[in-house]
């Protein structure tokens, strides 16, 4: 469980990035944090593993105040995958990269080997075991970063903009993977402005603007509220745009996905025929 209580954060250069954020994320939730550039999304999630400590207010991770513990301890429970994988990777081979975190947490060598194999396989990286992460493509490096975090099996995984630089197919794979992690009981927090990506899985959306939370609810509710989205510099998903333009025809207001759209349209046409 992650709880932020009226959190304020000011960077050393004076920029006030968070202005009173209170948020409760329960175990096993899938949360997408959305909002415009500079809204404070990344600043907020960096509080979840203690990388940043609030200037005012407090953050509790499993009831432990982040001020009273170390990042190393928190990281065991909250794994963080950065926006830019180059800020995270540094080892000479993919295998070493994944083993690094495990060694730091003091896992037994025999277990490390098992975990590395497991993570390589999970993210389809086995063929790159001996390759330098820096010879891989951007999308592949992102998968290495994710593998290195999942290897130590943290309870919560935070992914900052995981879809940047990924093509459609990789994005779909990643989405299925995230949903799968979540179904297996992991808490997943994704920072993203990719509305189509969010629309396809309908998670809880926390919408931020100028350092504050401005809305909190299911994606189908938040991503169909045009006035609210405009304030947060987000464009509704294309399917919801279509239905917003047909709002006079009395369709349900919460349609964000193509299959959902097909079903209501077929139902309407069927009713007309009768």
Interface with another protein (CB under 8 A), residue from 110, 127, 227, 272: 272
Between 51 and 244, CB nearer to another protein: 244
- The Cβ of residue 36 has, within 10 Å, a number of other Cβ atoms equal to 16
Shortest Å, Cβ 270 to another protein = 10
Mark the segment that binds another protein (CB under 8 A) among 17-25, 34-42, 64-72, 214-222: 34-42
When the beta carbons of 122 and 164 are compared against another protein, the nearer one is 164
Stretch that binds another protein, among 45-53, 126-134, 146-154, 262-270 (CB under 8 A): 262-270
- The answer to the question of residue 171 lying near another protein (CB under 8 A) is yes
Q: Choose one: 57-65, 69-77, 213-221, 234-242; the region binding another protein (CB under 8 A).
A: 234-242
Kindly give the residue spans of alpha helices, DSSP state H, lying in the chain.
41-45, 71-77, 94-104, 109-122, 138-150, 168-183, 195-199, 219-222, 226-231, 238-245, 258-273
Under rule CB under 8 A, residue 176 binds another protein: no
- 192 phi/psi in degrees, rounded to 5: -160, 155
Q: Which of 14, 68, 249, 274 binds another protein (CB under 8 A)?
A: 249
CB 11 within 8 A of CB 18: no
Site for another protein in 191-210 (CB under 8 A): 193, 195-196
**Contact between 168 and another protein per CB under 8 A:** yes
Q: Please say which residue, 37 or 184, places its beta carbon nearer to another protein.
A: 37
Residues 148 and 105: their CA atoms lie apart, in Å, by 12
Instruction: Compute how many other C-beta atoms are within 10 angstroms of the C-beta atom of residue 44.
Output: 27
HSE, CB side, 13 Å, CA atoms: give it for residue 205: 29
Percent helix, percent strand, percent coil in the chain, to nearest 5: 45, 20, 35
Among 35, 50, 101, 133, binds another protein (CB under 8 A): 35
Within positions 122 to 161, which residues make up the interface with another protein, using CB under 8 A? 137-139, 161
Q: In terms of C-beta density within 10 A (0-12 exposed, 13-18 middle, 19 or more buried), how is residue 26 classed? A: exposed
What residues make contact with another protein under the rule CB under 8 A? 35-38, 83, 137-139, 161, 164-172, 193, 195-196, 229-230, 232-235, 237-239, 241-242, 245-246, 249, 258-259, 261-262, 265-266, 268-269, 272-273
């Amino acid at each position: 469980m992650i709880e932020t209580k009226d959190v304020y954060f000011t960077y050393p250069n004076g920029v006030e990035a968070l202005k009173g954020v209170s948020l409760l994320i329960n175990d096993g939730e899938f949360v997408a944090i959305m909002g415009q550039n500079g809204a404070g999304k990344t600043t907020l999630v960096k509080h979840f593993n203690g990388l940043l400590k609030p200037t005012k207010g407090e953050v509790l991770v499993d009831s432990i105040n982040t001020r009273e513990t170390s990042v190393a301890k928190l990281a065991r429970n909250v794994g963080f995958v950065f926006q830019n994988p180059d800020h995270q990777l540094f080892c000479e081979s993919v295998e070493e990269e994944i083993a690094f975190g495990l060694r730091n947490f003091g896992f037994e060598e025999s277990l490390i080997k098992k975990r590395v194999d497991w993570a390589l396989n999970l993210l389809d990286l086995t063929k790159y075991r001996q390759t330098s992460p820096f010879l891989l493509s951007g999308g592949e490096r992102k998968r290495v970063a994710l593998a290195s975090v999942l290897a130590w099996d943290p309870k919560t995984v935070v992914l900052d903009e995981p879809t940047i630089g990924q093509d459609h197919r990789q994005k779909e794979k990643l989405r299925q993977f995230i949903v799968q992690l979540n179904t297996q009981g992991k808490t997943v927090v994704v920072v993203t402005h990719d509305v189509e990506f969010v629309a396809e899985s309908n998670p809880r959306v926390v919408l931020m603007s100028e350092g504050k939370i401005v809305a909190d609810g299911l994606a189908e509710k938040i991503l169909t509220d045009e006035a609210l989205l405009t304030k947060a510099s987000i464009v509704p998903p294309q399917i919801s745009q279509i239905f917003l333009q047909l709002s006079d025809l009395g369709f349900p207001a919460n349609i964000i996905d193509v299959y959902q759209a097909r079903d209501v349209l077929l139902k309407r046409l069927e009713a007309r025929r009768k």
